[in-house]
Amino acid sequence: LVNGVKRKCDFRVAGGERLEWRQRTEGAPTLDPNLVPEQFRREFRVCYEDDDLAVVWKPEGVDTAGGNVCHEGSSWSAVRISYHFLRPSAARGAYRRPRAVHRLDAPTSGLLCLAKTQPACAALCQ
């Protein structure tokens, strides 16, 4: 936030503004998986999770990150769905939301690796 207002990542500060960073931390409430449309919730699974990374089962018909699947006016992606199922990371360099380190096409189901921290993302993307 810049002076209490959410700004896009390319916003340039002039100096003297008050910057605030909000991050999910251990102990923060997990988002409610029941908010995810049932058609995705049925097949989506967390196969492995620790503070640095997660491996999830992405059902077919769901984009990895783009959110092309529209349900009641909202777009849903595997990354957005996973945010509702994964625990917040207490590790240093934790992301607010997990990041996909590779992609699976929307028609493809399979295991998807998500980085929960900056160091994990850097290591997995090498």
Q: How many CA atoms lie within 13 A of 28 on its CB side?
A: 16
Q: What is the pLDDT of residue 122?
A: 92
Confirm whether pTM is higher than 0.95: no
Round to whole Å and give the CA distance between 112 and 36: 18
Could you tell me the end-to-end alpha-carbon distance of the chain, in angstroms, rounded to an integer? 31
Of the pLDDT bands very low, low, confident and very high (cuts 50, 70, 90), residue 28 is low
pLDDT, position 118: 92
Least trusted range by pLDDT, from 16-25, 34-43, 66-75, 106-115: 66-75
Provide the pLDDT confidence category of residue 34 given band limits of 50, 70 and 90.
confident
Averaged pLDDT, 112-122: 93
Distance of CA 43 to the CA centre of its chain: 17
Check pLDDT > 60 for residue 7.
yes
Give residue-wise pLDDT tens across range 53-112: 999 999 888 888 875 555 455 577 888 888 888 888 888 888 888 999 998 888 889 999
